[in-house]
Structure 1
Amino acid sequence: MKTAEIAQRFLDYFEKNGHTIVPSASLVTDDPALLFTVAGMVPFIPYLSGDVPAPYPRAADNQKCIRTNDIEEVGKTPRHGTFFQMLGNWSFGDYFKEGAIRYAWDLLTSPEADGGLGFDQKDLWVTVYEEDDEAHDLWLKLTDLPEERIQRLGKDTNYWSTGLPGPAGPCSEIFFDRGPEYGIDGGPATDDDRYVEIWNLVFMQYEITNVRSKYDFDIVGELPNKNIDTGMGLERIAFIKQGVDNMYETDQVRPVLDKAVELAGRTYGANHDDDVRFRVVADHVRSSLMLMSDGVTPSNDGRGYILRRLMRRVIRSMRLLGVDGPTFEVLFSASRDAMKDAYPVVETDWARISQYALAEEATFLRTLAAGESILDESLSDTKAAGGTTLTGAEAFLLHDTYGFPIDLTLEIAEEAGLSVDRAAFDGLMQEQRARAKADARARKRQLADTSVYRDLRAQGETVFTGYTDLEAESQVLGILVDGVSVDRASAGQIAEVILAETALYAESGGQVADKGVIVGPGYELEVLDVQKPVPGLISHTVEVSTGEVGVGQAATTVVDAANRRAARQAHSATHLVHAALRDTLGKTATQAGSLNRAGYMRFDFSWGQSLSDETKTEIEEIANNAVRDNLEVTTRVLPLDEARSLGAMALFGEKYGDTVRMVDIGGPWSRELCAGTHVSTSAEIGLINLVGESSVGASNRRVEALVGLDAFRSLAAERALVSQLTTSLKAPREQLPARIAELQASLKAAEKKIAAFEAKALGDRLPALAAAATRVGDTVVVAESLGNAASADDVRSLALQVRERLGSEAAVVALGAVVNDRPVVIVATNDAARASGAKAGVLAKGAAGVLGGGGGGRDDVAQGGGTDAAALPAALVSVKDALGA
């Protein structure tokens, strides 16, 4: 049974049983405490927590997920994958334990001919929470399971909570017994790979508080609405139904594994380590493909870092399989073909996805080449010093700074006859992980608790009237001060105010929040920010300017009209620039993010190289031509599928409902899904002045523009500057570039003459410096300060000349100077000095320490520097002291 068929049977079954079928949300979640949709429940959290009323009593879905916390287990077990699909059925205060158990058992054990999954109940085991007698008894009542195949387990396996105050409850899990050839008897309690968990039924029935750990908390009582949250692993069902040993051999994953085998020229199943690598490649390629299809791009932080890590693990694994060259074109194409029936976007968006994939591979292959060079130097230095072990710090630097995998460091070091201090490396990695976890916990504590808005959201959605009106009459529904609900707020206080209606735009879709005021009987509030803390609820952060505001009072929101007008201009300008980019660069130049505020727009897009001046001018001209043409701007609210069929562009990773707002500028020329505010015709934008273009990652670029009056002011300022230059340089505007180039050439020639003069002046000091030599033991030493110097290179050149003048007996030269207001020390040693143990790198490092900086280098010549120029004489003395020690 194909993976897609299993998913369809699941959805068909629950649709027949009264469930609303909900499409998968993006892998990029809008939950601020998470990077990705890590579980099937994530899109439903507002409904499960009660923060937002559920729009349906029961639902079912096939949710795509990414989870990398067990990334080291990928390929080693039959079931661990970074990308997986979670089939789920949900009840929001509707059916509870009996319904969940009945549905699960019926679907699993009904014959395939009747639309079921056809499992033999003799192969199924069940676990329940050890104190959940109700679930235990329901399994006996509703099924023919013998009691010995219903096992009671503890909180660590059969109790669900988020680790935060809120909903929680016991679980019941269904396992498939793969048979004695896969492990020992004894059921899921043995925790053996023989028993594969295929379905988890979460009975969300309690409210918890005083959470001390995920499994240590106080139960406040039962939830007013008990929910069902279930998850059945699609890949796990697939490998069982397809008769293969693991998820990597299923129909959606195996094609990539086979291509990796073909490229490596090795046999799958012949070597355990190779098999793990093949499975890692198959899993990570699919995960990377799916992440990129949801708009994630490789980068050095956040979601992009996770994607980059997955892709680089593929390259590393292929390298360990003997393939050093590019492989992504073949591997990603195979994954696209395997996934396109279930997720057509991987084919329709293939040009953009493949562009990112191939660029990332090329970049990392260059990184590997550079890392190998650095590693070779470290290994050579270790050998030269008589060492046998590369330090953990050096291995960690390669990993953390250069992205060089530790596995390759170990492999190359072994080939060189050296070991790596793996314990020290692991310790540094552990410290880094601990810092990352602490940051994540802090973020989760700060952002995850939205329960304070639950009662307010239960009163209904905030009505936004700002598309048509700049004022709205309303009523105060709630007031929060420091996250706590209060009855009123007084002058000088900062508070959050929730209203039934508002004309003030909440920050979203790249557009910043409106400015304005809220007024009512006896009070005025200055609006500092407007946000959507939970879906459907708008919160106004305000400072009480005068009077006192209380819950239940009348309120009028008043938008700052000038600021809104300029923000509308900027947002509409962003759409025009996006269309102009696609006109100029092609359809792969898709939006990766934006920011719009009054008078300014910033637009990030997928592109792998800088734009030429000619291209930037062309984009700016196309956008301004659209302004000149006074194109009509229209908005429509329509079903999501219809909008997409009309070619509407969507921001990747943005969450859209069943109905969307589509903004057209000039009909289909610019057609995007957008909830922002816009002008009525393009001429209202006024002017778009492209002022910047830069890189924001290996495959993303950013353009910035001023809009409307701000654009005019910028051009006026440039005009005034050009006027000043024409006056000062006594040249007409068209001759300014040539005149400035002429001045630059003159300045460069003058600087060259000055440098030559200073170098000669230093060279003239050569005899005096050689004559100033003293002895420290058997070593001739010159340690002198030169005062100011043009460059460290000049000081280095003079030090080498002095060293030659001193002859063949042991000699050390240390010259100090101030270069660009910073002290520099150059140390040079000859062969005889080095033979007696004097090393320039060690001496320069010691001198630099006196200067408050650092340094080092080769044994024959080295450089140090710092910040304390007054300490230069002491630094030179330290060189003599080190030689005499």
Structure 2
Amino acid sequence: MKTAEIAQRYLDYFEKNDHTIVPSASLVSPDPSILFTIAGMVPFIPYLNGTVPAPYARAADVQKCIRTNDIEEVGKTARHGTFFQMLGNWSFGDYFKQGAIEYAWELLTSPEASGGLGFDERDLWVTVYEDDDEAFGLWRGIGLPEERIQRFGAADNYWSTGQPGPAGPCSEIYFDRGPKYGRDGGPAVDDDRFTEIWNLVFMQYEITNVRSKTEFDVVGELPKKNIDTGMGLERVAFIKQGVENMYETDQVRPVLDRAVDLSGRRYGANHEDDVRFRVIADHVRSSLMLLSDGVTPSNEGRGYILRRLMRRTIRSMRLLGVDVATFPELFSASRDAMSTAYPVVTEDWDRISRSAFAEEETFLRTLASGSTILDLAVEKTKDAGGTSIAGDEAFLLHDTYGFPIDLTLEIAEEAGLSVDRAAFDTLMQEQRARAKADAKSRKRALADPGVYREFRALGETVFTGYTDLETESSVLGLLADGRAVDRAAQGEIVEVILAETALYAESGGQVADKGVIVGPGFELEVLDVQKPLPGLVSHTVEVTVGEVGLGQPARSVVDAANRRAARQAHSATHLVHAALRDTLGRTATQAGSLNRAGYLRFDFAWSQALSESTRSEIEEIANNAVRENLEVSTRVLSLDDAKAAGAMALFGEKYGETVRMVDIGGPWSRELCAGTHVATSAEVGLINLVGESSVGATNRRVEALVGLEAFRSLAAERALVSQLTTSLKTPREQLPARIAELTASLKAAEKKIAAFEARALADRVPALADAAKAAGPHRLVAESLGSAASADDVRTVALQVRDRLGSDPAVVALGADVGGRAIVVVATNEAARSAGAKAGALVKIAAGVLGGGGGGRDDVAQGGGTDVSAMPAALTAISEALAA
């Protein structure tokens, strides 16, 4: 039975039993505290914990999941994989234990011919929580023998989020793979032979004072009891298909087979190669699915996880003897295997493949350079009798060559070495600290999501801002430092929850509105507006006048000028997107955006820089749409109807069952968008593309000024051109040629000056050599040259002076100010080195005084620092070191 057929049978069964079929949520988690959807329950958490009322009483789904905490175990066991699909059926205060157990048993044991999964009852075992006599009795009631029902403790059969809130016992269903796989006696004896396939969670209690997974206090029973079940699709598939593990199922095996073909090695020949084949099969599928959900490779967050999966794949292929690009073959195989269940991987193949292939090309170059350096580090460590590669060398590989630390760890382990991870982590922390030193947070952090639950339970915050710039409401909640309070006085910064608001909460790339909230005796300046939970708006405010309290009437007032400019920017973003697709084609899809008053930033899928003519064409198309005064209309309709109408659903956005579709000029620009927009395109005013750059191997970014800001920018450029024409006494059309002529003249003059300075330094060589003094057994020249054009000039002079000092032990240490930075070069002859003078060691002494660093060979070395005034002390330090 194919994997897709198992999933469809599951959905058909539960739809027949009055469950709403819910499409899989994105792999990009809606929960800001986790990167990915790591379990089938993640999209339903707001319904399960009561934060958001469930829109249906019972539901079923096939949820895509990614989990990488056990990435090192992938390929080594039958059940560890990074991408998996979780079949789930859910009850929100509807049926409970009896219904969940009966549904699961009927689906599992009904014959395939009647739509079931056809498991033999004799192969199924069950575990229940040790005190759950009710579940035990229900399993007995459907005919399961008592000896195939085992009781486990809270560590195995009790579910909670690990936080105060809903919890409850669970019952797990296991399949007996037979004596070939281990001892008899059920899951309590051998969980390799007995494979868990389905977990039924009975969410019936509220817990508090959670101390660990097994230690907590039960407050009492929940008023509404929920069912949360999860059946692993891959596990069911490898059992139904009669294969050994998930890597050999129909959705994964084609990639493994293609890797076998490319490598020329046989699957099943040896354990190490088999693990590599499985890693490749798993990671390619996971990468494909992440790319299909809009994740792109990067060095942070989700993008880093994707990059790690892809690079582990490349590394595994290299260990199988393949050092050329293989993604075109491997990803195509995965696309064909997954397209039946997920047509998007075929529909978006151009974008997905472009991103994957570019990442492989980049990393193959990284491997070529980084592997050589790492091999030298391994060799040096072994030659010195060491067992651990230095942390600074691992950091250099990561920071300079883009060589990921996990790959360094793997290669070191293969060579029988470890890596000084503590030193590496320290250097990483220092780097992050430096990067963040000047960064300022744009907005205050929101409170813990659980704090908002009671407010969300009162209903959704009504947003009136599409039509109104002022709205009367009342204060439902006040939060100070994450805690609910009754009042807030002048000068305090708090969060305010209103029943209705005209203020737009940041989302969809549009920043939050500016404005005020006013009421009897108080005025609040709005600093930020966010949605901490779906359907709930929180206003971060500063109390500027009076005191605000719970229950008081409050009027939200939008800054009209700022909103007008924000609307212009958001509509302009849609126009630029349409112009990009019109110019570059349908694959130039949005990958992120930011729009605020007078400005837009737009990221899109594209792998090469735009020419000046292409940029001009895009700008002209967008501004023509402004000039044509196209109607901007919005409709609220179902997601399916919007997609059928051709609306673009953008990656990274979360959509409900109903969506808001924004048309500009009918179908010319049709996108799903909750932002605020102008009424006609002419209101945008003007779009001025001011920048285009790379934001990754497969993404580009355009920036534009909009409306009055665009006019001001063009007016400033006009004034600048006017000033240049006057100063250079050159007509406007001849300015480029005149500036090029002046630039060429300046470069020629700089070249002549540099040559003159180099000759002047060379002329000083005899006098410098004559100034040599004794320092221990050496003759030492330690002088400052003043200023120099480059460090190379200082180095050249140092070598020339050294050559003039003959064969006696001689050391030359010359310093100079090169562009405001202190540079020191040390050169030694063979006799000096034999007497113990090493140029690299001496440079480090001087560089330490100068506030910097340096190093090099024993015969010549270079260093420097930021403190030019310390040069005399640095040269003295060298003299003292030689004399000691």
Question: Where do 1:585-624 residues align within 5 Å?
Answer: 585-624=584-623
Find the counterpart in structure 2 of residue 634 from structure 1. Answer: 633
Q: For residue 213 of structure 1, give the secondary structure of its aligned residue in structure 2.
A: coil
Q: How many angstroms apart in 2 are the aligned matches of 1:823 and 1:406? A: 34
Q: For residue 366 of structure 1, what is the aligned residue in structure 2?
A: 365
The residue that corresponds to 1:192 in the other structure is 191
Q: 1:414, 1:571 → 2: CA distance?
A: 51
Q: CA deviation at 1:541?
A: 2.2
Question: Structure 1 residue 425: deviation in Å?
Answer: 4.6
Q: Quick one: distance in 1 between partners of 2:621 and 2:536?
A: 38
Correspondence 1:203 to 2:236: no
1:26 matched to 2:26: yes
- Shift of residue 861 of structure 1? 1.3
Aligned residue among 409, 418, 425 for 1:422: 418
Q: Does the 8 Å CA contact 2:448/2:482 hold for their aligned counterparts?
A: no
More contact order relative to length (CA 8 Å, sep ≥ 6): 1
**Range 359-368 or range 721-730, more displaced:** 721-730
| Aligned 1:189-588 pairs, distance under 5 A | 189-190=188-189, 192-378=191-377, 391-393=389-391, 396-397=394-395, 400-401=398-399, 402-404=401-403, 421-422=417-418, 424-425=420-421, 428=424, 449-588=448-587
Cα deviation code 1:143-192 (max 9, x no counterpart) = 32222322222332222222222222222211111112112333222353
Amino acid at match of 1:539: S
Shift of the alpha carbon at 1:221? 2.7
Instruction: Check 1:842–1:103 CA distance in 2 against 1; reply closer, same or farther (3 A cut).
Output: same
Residue 786 of structure 1 corresponds to 785
Q: Provide TM-score, normalisation by structure 2.
A: 0.94
Does the 8 A contact of 1:108 with 1:118 survive in 2?
yes
* SS in structure 2 of the partner of residue 290 of structure 1: helix
The CA distance in 2 between the partners of 1:549 and 1:779, in whole Å, is: 81
Post-superposition offset of 1:435: 13
The AA in structure 2 aligned to 1:36 is: F
Once the two structures are overlaid, the 10-residue window that deviates more, 719-728 or 317-326, is: 719-728
Q: CA deviation at 1:856?
A: 0.4
Decide whether aligned partners of structure 1 residues 431 and 172 sit closer, same or farther in structure 2, where only a CA change above 3 A counts: farther
The 2-side partners of 1:158 and 1:434 are apart by 43
Change (3 A) 1:56 1:211: same
Identify if the C-alpha distance between structure 1 residues 413 and 657 changes in structure 2 by more than 3 Å, giving closer, same or farther: closer
Q: 1:508 and 1:412, CA in 2 relative to 1: closer, same or farther beyond 3 A? A: closer
Which residue number corresponds to residue 436 of structure 2? none
Q: Which runs of 5+ in 2 are unaligned?
A: 433-440
Contact 2:817 2:823 (8 Å CA) reproduced? yes
Deviation at 1:465, TM superposition (A): 1.8
Does the residue aligned with 2:211 lie in a helix, a strand or coil? strand
Change (3 A) 1:840 1:184: farther
Q: 1:546 to 1:166 in 2, by over 3 A?
A: same
Contact preservation (8 Å) 2:387, 2:418: no
Counterpart CA distance in 1 for 2:555 and 2:86 is 46
Output one character per residue of 1:242-268: Cα deviation in whole Å (capped at 9) or x when no partner: 000000111111111110110011111
**1:788 partner amino acid:** S
2:63 corresponds to: 63
Residues 824-839 of structure 1 aligned to structure 2 (within 5 Å): 824-839=823-838
Contact 2:388 2:418 in 1 (8 A): no
Q: How does 1:791-830 map to 2 (within 5 A)?
A: 791-830=790-829
Structure 1 residues 179 and 431: CA distance shift in structure 2, 3 A:
farther
Amino acid at match of 1:666: G
Secondary structure at 2:604 match in 1: strand
* Whole-angstrom CA distance in 2 between matches of 1:219 and 1:735: 82
> In the aligned structure 2, how far is the partner of 1:820 from the partner of 1:433?
30
The C-alpha deviation readout for 1:493-539, integer Å capped at 9, x for no partner, is 33322222222211111111112222333333322222211111222
Contact 1:528–1:541 (Cα < 8 Å) also in 2: yes
What is the CA-CA distance between 1:866 and the residue it aligns to? 1.2
In structure 2, the partner of 1:86 is 86
**Equivalent residues of 1:378, 1:390 under 8 A apart:** no
Preserved CA contact (<8 Å) 1:523 1:545: yes
Asked if the contact 1:528–1:543 (Cα under 8 Å) also holds between the matched residues in 2, the reply is yes
Deviation, 1:321, is 0.6
Whether 1:163 aligns to 2:187 is: no
Match of 2:36, SS state, is: coil
For 1:518 and 1:662, how far apart are their aligned partners in 2? 29
Matched-pair contact (CA < 8 Å) for 2:412–2:418? no
Question: Which residue of the partner structure matches residue 17 of structure 1?
Answer: 17
Residues 389 and 324 (structure 1), Cα distance of their counterparts in 2 relative to 1, 3 Å cut: same
- Secondary structure, in 3 states, of the residue corresponding to 2:40? coil
Matched, 1:875 2:874: yes
- Does the residue aligned with 2:299 lie in a helix, a strand or coil? coil
> Can you list the C-alpha shifts for 1:209-267, whole angstroms capped at 9, x where unaligned?
33333443333333222211111000000000000000011111111111011001111
1:395 CA drift (Å):
5.8
Distance 1:728 1:381, change over 3 A: farther
Shift of 1:636: 1.4
- Structure 2 counterpart SS, 1:479: strand
> 1:196 Cα shift?
1.2
Amino acid of the structure 2 residue aligned with 1:126: V
* Aligned mates of 2:251, 2:679 — CA distance in 1: 47
Q: What residue number does 1:735 align with?
A: 734
The code of the aligned residue for 2:328 comes to E
More off after superposition, 65-74 vs 510-519 = 510-519
Residue 694 (structure 1) shift: 1.6
SS at match of 2:757: helix
For structure 1, the 5+ residue unaligned runs are: 437-442
Residues 211, 598 of structure 1: alpha-carbon distance in 2 compared, 3 angstrom cutoff: same
Structure 1 Cα separation of the partners of residues 203 and 879 of structure 2: 76
Question: Which amino acid is the alignment partner of residue 572 of structure 1?
Answer: S
How far apart, in 2, do the equivalents of 1:429 and 1:550 lie? Answer: 47
Partners of 2:604 and 2:700 within 8 A in 1: yes
Amino acid aligned to 2:398 = D
What aligned pairs does 1:72-221 form with structure 2 within 5 A after superposition?
A: 72-140=72-140, 142-190=141-189, 192-221=191-220
Does structure 2 retain, via aligned residues, the 8 Å contact 1:392–1:421? no
Q: 1:747 to 1:431 in 2, by over 3 A?
A: closer
1:429-464 CA-to-partner distances (Å, cap 9, x unmatched) read: 79989999xxxxxx9x97783222222222222222
Q: 1:244 to 1:381 in 2, by over 3 A?
A: closer
Secondary structure of the equivalent of 2:678?
coil
RMSD of aligned Cα (Å)? 2.5
1:828–1:582: structure 2 CA closer, same or farther, 3 Å change rule?
same
How much does 1:637 deviate?
Answer: 1.5
1:539 alignment partner, SS class:
strand
SS of the equivalent of 1:459 reads: coil
8 A contact 1:27–1:653 mirrored in 2: no
Greater mean alpha carbon deviation, residues 7-16 or residues 362-371: 7-16
Three-state SS of the structure 2 residue aligned to 1:775 is: strand
| Distance in 1 (alpha carbons) for counterparts of 2:85 and 2:538 | 34
> What's the offset of the Cα at 1:556?
2.6
Q: Secondary structure at the match of 1:845?
A: helix
How far did 1:884 drift? 4.1
Change in 2 beyond 3 A, CA 1:249/1:399 = farther
Change (3 A) 1:209 1:403: farther
Secondary structure in 2 matching 1:638: strand
CA deviation profile, 1:681-725 (whole Å, cap 9, x unmatched): 111100001111122222211111110011101111111122222
Q: Which amino acid aligns with 1:422?
A: S
Contact 1:33–1:447 at 8 Å: present in 2 too? no
Q: Is the 8 A contact 1:464 1:501 kept in 2?
A: yes
Code of the aligned partner of 1:844: V
